Amino acid sequence: MELKTLETRTFLTLVVIVTVAFAWLLGGYLQTVFWATVLAILFSAPFRWLRKRLGGNGTAASLLTLLLILLLVIAPLIGLGFAVTGEAMSVYTGVTTGAIDLTEILEQAESLLPRATRVAEDWGVDLDGIRERVSSTALNASQFVASSVVSLGQKTAHFVLLLAVTLYLLFFFLRDGDSLVDKLVQALPLGDVRERRLFSRFAAVTRATVKGSFIVAVVQGTIGGLGFWAVGLSAPILWGAIMSICALIPAVGTALVWLPAAIYLVVIGSWVKALIIVVIGLAVIGTVDNALRPILVGRDAGMPDYMILLSTLAGLATFGIAGIVIGPIIAGLFLTVWEIFTEEFGPADNAVLTFAGPEILPREAPTIITSASEVHRAPLAPEAETLAGPDD
């Protein structure tokens, strides 16, 4: 073996070892890096607008963008968190003191639906046991909420630290995003054309997922919470926040909250209020989803609906709340990698399966991504000419 080959292999092994060690070192902060990247992509347009107005001063533009994020995103979330915490403690107090008696509600349901009660007894259903289990579950759930609130208070310092790190990283991602992307393109051994295409899909899916999921979820949760408040249900802010979280789950959504609430209103005899909740859930919230999601998402994601559903559910199960974004991003990169593979190594007639989405690479030149929102052209390298094809 030649000395040069040995040196190269040794160095590449060292590169892999050091990279893995660095990733392991950052293990507890990887989601912090991820959310800073997501925010940098989402707010790259305001940053560029501010930088242009400030005569190219990237530092000042980045600081002003951070202030904008604090006012529009972080401050409202913190305020909502305090409101939800207060209402969660109120629910816990109501369950423990007996002000909220689920056993009584079940008894009302039995008296309201005697036929259903007789059928249940004929089938051997132990209604008394169900009442006891429901009461026990409600008490355990309320205790869990209370302990979670206490634990959240104890972890405030850790949360503040993670928030500070996220904002710190975001400042540099905004200010130095162009050079960071260029360095990644130069360092990765995938070929510039492929790398830029993958970066394009990453940015597109990130924007589409956040716009199409989080914004719609906030709107739906707000409408649902207002509906609960209008009919006099307790803890509307808490239930609105829960509806926003449920709205992120495809094919199920806010019905996980408003449907049981409507059933509860029927059980206690409030038929009109139950009808109002059903109308709000089916007509208003459903219309918001059907009207806003196509406008906010458009064709940015470039993925079929079933792929978005599967990747979102799998992301939630694997990564928690961050999986709502991470799952579709991984799915988008998966599709892009296989599209590139099929185009380069598929049949000669290039009859490949593609999915609807944005045009990533015009044929006349590869696209260099200088940020999440801006691209510019570069002369074709010899390898890029082979991939991109002749000019049209």
Predicted local distance difference test score (pLDDT) of residue 136:
62
**Do residue 338 and residue 259 come from a single domain?**
yes
In a domain, 211, yes or no: yes
Predicted local distance difference test score (pLDDT) of residue 125:
56
In angstroms, the CA 51 to CA 36 distance is 19
Low-confidence ranges of the chain (pLDDT < 70): 1-3, 87, 91-155, 250-252, 293-302, 346-392
In a domain, 152, yes or no: yes
In a domain, 8, yes or no: no
In a domain, 11, yes or no: no
Predicted local distance difference test score (pLDDT) of residue 76:
83
**Do residue 145 and residue 200 come from a single domain?**
no
List beta partners, residue 329. Answer: none
- Of 120, 150, 175, at which residue does a domain stop? 175
**Do residue 261 and residue 207 come from a single domain?**
yes
| CA angle at 207 for the pair 359 and 250, rounded to the nearest 5° | 105
- Give me the number of domains the chain comprises: 2
In angstroms, the CA 319 to CA 306 distance is 19
**Do residue 124 and residue 257 come from a single domain?**
no
Predicted local distance difference test score (pLDDT) of residue 172:
92
Q: What secondary structure letter does DSSP report for 356?
A: S
List beta partners, residue 368. Answer: 376
What are the φ/ψ torsions at residue 37 (nearest 5 degrees)? Answer: -65, -45
**Do residue 166 and residue 247 come from a single domain?**
no
**Do residue 115 and residue 236 come from a single domain?**
no
Predicted local distance difference test score (pLDDT) of residue 121:
58
Predicted local distance difference test score (pLDDT) of residue 382:
43
- Of 175, 208, 239, at which residue does a domain stop? 175
Range of the domain at 333: 191-379
Residues 6+ apart with CB under 8 A from 39: 69, 73, 166, 170, 173
**Do residue 69 and residue 125 come from a single domain?**
yes
Q: What secondary structure letter does DSSP report for 379?
A: P
User: Structure pTM?
Assistant: 0.63
- Of 108, 143, 175, at which residue does a domain stop? 175
